[in-house]
Amino acid sequence: MAEQPRNGKVTVVGAGFYGSTTALRLAEYDVFETVVLTDIVEGKPEGLALDINQSRPIEGFETRVVGVGGGSYEGTEGSDVVVITAGLPRKPGMSRMDLIETNAKIVRQVAENVAQSSPDAVVIVVSNPLDEMTALAQLATGFPKERVMGQAGMLDTARFSNNVAEELGVPVSSVRTLTLGSHGDTMVPVPSRCTVDGKPLADVLAADRIEHLVQRTRNGGAEVVALLKTGSAYYAPSAAAARMARAVMEDSGAVMPVCAWVDGEYGIAGVYLGVEAEIGRQGVRRVVEGDLTESELAGLREAAEAVRAKQADVAEL
């Protein structure tokens, strides 16, 4: 069999649980030439990269992982995609917004370094609070807005789908769900676009149970944080970020729920918000508008205004 081609370089900034798991997933796809893992801690990304590389003969992938410690961006130059995971995770009882001031300083510094070392990269932000940090990363890089997006809707939608599958005792592959809005209190799960085996969710689940699952989805991150006691979720979030990075590199045109710049869609303009978008080599090709009920549309517009106020504040941090 002919060996498959591997192309491009993906850098993951932050070698915590989220970043290192994202690097592993990207490497195991075996479609990239190089995955670079960088962190301010000396030795940690190098050690993780060595460990991942030593798994290649077992798992059968050739993508090479490079670790860069000490806050250096040497070796990341010319990255096609950069995933920013840097920042503090939540602790039990904390909201994502509690992290805003601390993580803003970190994300701004990272984004400025990325702009210098990889001026043509597509940036995927996963640091919390997500919507605000995505807006800040775009300001700090100065990149076109379509080349900076955030990972939120992919994760929240996956949580919603898993919740529905567990509630009904059906395979997750039979469930289709969607969440829009912010990655936080104004998240907008979209039951009208959800199906189980092609049937509308409302036909197979009572309204009160749907609302219960919507609330559980909205609180999905906090539920994990409360159980872990230290740290926050990283298996499902890393899967979401890695899929987005792959869609960019493969110029796939896949439609995914992401945090993207909205400029007139749904009657909303001038804000980063969770919407469906077509993803390609230059980032967000276009925002995809879908049918929403009046209450869902109202929720999305409410989310936009809540996020808009915070994104204005974050520009000063």
159-174 pLDDT, tens per residue? 999 999 999 999 999 9
Could you tell me the pTM of the whole model? Answer: 0.95
Burial 267-284 (b: 16+ CB within 10 A, else e): ebeebbbbbbbbbbbebb
CATH of domain 153-315: 3.90.110.10
Evaluate if residue 236 carries a pLDDT over 80. yes
What gap in Å lies between CA 129 and CA 294, rounded to an integer? 27
Please give the C-alpha separations between residue 172 and each of 158, 224, 237, 278, in angstroms, as whole numbers.
Answer: 9, 19, 17, 23
- Cα–Cα–Cα angle for 180, 307, 316, nearest 5°? 145
Answer whether 303's CB lies under 8 Å from 182's CB. yes
pLDDT tens-digit readout, 75-113: 999 999 999 998 876 667 666 567 777 888 999 999 999
Q: Whole-angstrom Cα distance, residue 308 to residue 270? A: 8
User: Does 127 show up as a binding residue in the annotation?
Assistant: yes
The confidence score (pLDDT) of residue 95 equals: 63
CB 160 within 8 A of CB 191: no
Q: Is 18 labelled as part of a ligand binding site?
A: yes
Catalytic: 183? yes
pLDDT of residue 316: 74
Q: Is 135 labelled a binding residue?
A: no
Establish whether 75 is an annotated binding residue: no
What are the domain boundaries of the chain?
A: 7-150, 153-315
- 17 among the known binding-site residues? yes
DSSP summary character for residue 252 = -
Residue 208 pLDDT > 60 = yes
Question: What digits encode the pLDDT tens for the residues 38-52?
Answer: 999 999 999 999 999
Strands (E), 194-268: 195-196, 199-200, 254-263
Q: What is the mean pLDDT of residues 18-40?
A: 97
Query: What integer is the mean pLDDT of 64-81?
Result: 97
Q: Which among 140, 144, 241 is positioned nearest to 183, based on CA atoms?
A: 241
- Phi then psi for residue 186, to 5 deg, are -105, 30
Sheet holding 175-176, edge to edge: 175-176, 195-196, 199-200
- Per-state percent for the chain, helix, strand, coil, to nearest 5: 45, 20, 30
Has 51 been labeled as part of a binding site? no
CA–CA distance, 6 with 30 (Å, rounded to integer): 7
Mean pLDDT of 209-222: 94
Which H/E stretch holds residue 314?
helix 294-314
Distance CA 107, CA 89 (A): 13
High-pLDDT (> 70) share of the chain, %: 96
What does the pLDDT read at residue 193?
96
96 labeled part of a ligand binding site: yes
90 is in an annotated binding site: yes
**pLDDT mean across residues, the chain:** 94
Segment 289-294 shows an average pLDDT of: 96
CA distance linking residue 84 with residue 68, whole number of Å: 15
Q: Band of the pLDDT at 288, cuts 50, 70, 90? A: very high
163 labeled binding residue: no
Strand partners, 277: 256, 287
**Residue 273 carries which DSSP code?**
E
Q: Which one has a higher pLDDT value, 314 or 255?
A: 255
- The model's pLDDT over 144-155, given as tens digits with 9 standing for 90+, comes to 999 999 999 999
What per-residue string of b and e applies to 189-218 under the rule 16 or more CB within 10 Å gives b? bbbebbbbeeeebeebbeeeebeebbebbb
Among 44, 183, 218, 246, the active-site one is: 183
Query: What pLDDT band is residue 197 in, cutting at 50, 70 and 90?
Result: very high
Does residue 285 have a known ligand-binding role?
no
Which fold does the domain 7-150 belong to in CATH?
Rossmann fold (3.40.50)
| DSSP 8-class letter at 182 | -
Q: Is 15 marked as binding a ligand?
A: yes
